[in-house]
Amino acid sequence: MAFSVNLLSSVAQCDTLLTLKQRERKDLVLRLTTLNHQLDNWDDVASVEAELTSTNTFITTMGPAIAAMPAGDQKRRQENLLNRYESRANVLTTKVEDYGAIARLERELERDGVAAKIDLLDALVAAVTTRRSQL
């Protein structure tokens, strides 16, 4: 890629740009490392989806049964159990959304975009460094 580095007219301009772009590159490398780590450790979402299905089945089945129970300790215990299952269903739903196939594809796209930007920054830094040596 061709950069208009001939517009840089002093070593100070080159140094300023190099400092900024090297800092930006460092941040991008950190982001790339994080994305690669996430993708390398991606959970199998199928087991989470199966657990969510069974949890939702329990909630659907037990809700009416608990409502029909007479007031007392047993009903209170079952209501508490149902509340725990509902909380678990919320957690599992979030996990499926955060670690599903679409989320993985989005992370892969972001990873590839970050890697491409790092390559562009490297090319720019090389061009500015060459221009700096010419000044």
Please compute the mean of the pLDDT values over residues 103-122 and round it to a whole number.
95
* DSSP assigned state of 5: G
Rounded Cα distance, 120 and 108, in Å: 19
Report pLDDT for 2. 86
Please give the Cα distance from 52 to 99 (Å, whole number).
13
CA pair distance 54, 49, nearest whole angstrom? 9
pLDDT of residue 48: 82
Q: Is the pLDDT of residue 97 over 90?
A: no
pLDDT for 45 beyond 80:
no
Q: What is the mean pLDDT of the chain?
A: 91
Which pLDDT band holds residue 102 (cuts at 50, 70, 90)? confident
What pLDDT score was predicted for residue 44? 66
Question: Which of 36-50, 86-100, 103-117, 118-132 is predicted with the least confidence, judged by mean pLDDT?
Answer: 36-50
Q: Reduce the DSSP state of residue 13 to 3 states and report it.
A: helix
The pTM for the full model equals: 0.66
**Torsional sign, CA 55, 57, 62, 67:** positive
